[in-house]
Amino acid sequence: MSPTSFILVAIDGGAASGKSSTARALSERFHLLHADTGSYYRALSARLLHSGVSPAAPAAVRAELTDLHLGTHCSGRHAQLTIGGDPVPEADLRSDAVNAAVSHFAALPEVRAALLPYQRGLADLARTHGFQGLVMEGRDIGSVIFPHADLRIFLHADPAERARRRAREGQLDAVAERDRLDSSRENSPMTCPAGAVAIDTSHLALPAVVERIAALITSRLLGG
């Protein structure tokens, strides 16, 4: 394989599997644009809830989404979704109401279709902004958004350990229930795609996970 000058890294995994901390550390190490796509689904969910739209009413969801203008605010290496020019406040993204509703909104084809071209477009944004690459984390990045990414990683972790991680962050978040919904939905279910590198993070500290993936990125950049 020849050396690559721009690297596309897809990281998928369940709720609280360590995706965000890992992706953030890699973005700093390799100067990659970081896209946390869970926060994009959260932003749309917060907006829809704010407008009084329920996931049980797909026609209303579709109507609300057609009027939304999605954009990006680059905060350092982090690509934040903006709606109508404004990022959604972090507290709204992580609210209990959004935690409870996001997987139901994310199962709707209308919601996924609204985000698909946006997410793919971030690779060009990373190139034009002079990043060394893009690290995108989510549930369907290696399977649907970028199936030909240079590196596809799938992080696993024991459900009890993941629930403990969320509780330590002070969040009320039914991670097992979200995983069940995310893995069993018809549209772009969470899955470890064939050819992805699977890593169990249950008993692995963050630096060890980062080192493992960093070695793979370095090897790709050098043409290994």
Of the candidate residues 47, 152, 165, 178, the single one contacting ligand C5P (CB under 6 A): 178
Residue 163 host element (H or E) = helix 159-168
In the complex, least distance from residue 208 CB atom to ligand C5P, rounded to whole angstroms: 21
Q: Is 140 in the site for ligand C5P (CB under 6 A)?
A: yes
Q: Which stretch binds ligand C5P (CB under 6 A): 64-72, 77-85, 102-110, 120-128?
A: 102-110
**Site residues (CB under 6 A) for ligand C5P, limited to 6-25:** 15
Among 64, 110, 150, 182, binds ligand C5P (CB under 6 A): 182
Q: How many residues bind ligand C5P (CB under 6 A)?
A: 14
Select from 29, 22, 12, 68 the least CA-distant residue to 45.
Answer: 68
Tell me the three state secondary structure of residue 117: helix
The neighbour count for residue 121, using CB atoms within 10 Å, is 12
Residues from 110 through 139 that contact ligand C5P (CB under 6 A): 138-139
What is the C-alpha to C-alpha distance for residues 80 and 39, in angstroms, rounded to an integer?
A: 8
Cα dihedral: 138, 62, 105, 92 (round 10): 80
Residue 149 found at the interface with ligand C5P (CB under 6 A):
no
Question: What distance in Å separates the CA atoms of residue 86 and residue 94, rounded to the nearest whole number?
Answer: 17
User: With binding defined as CB under 6 A, does residue 102 bind ligand C5P?
Assistant: yes
Residues within the interface to ligand C5P (CB under 6 A): 15, 37-38, 41-42, 102-103, 106, 138-141, 178, 182
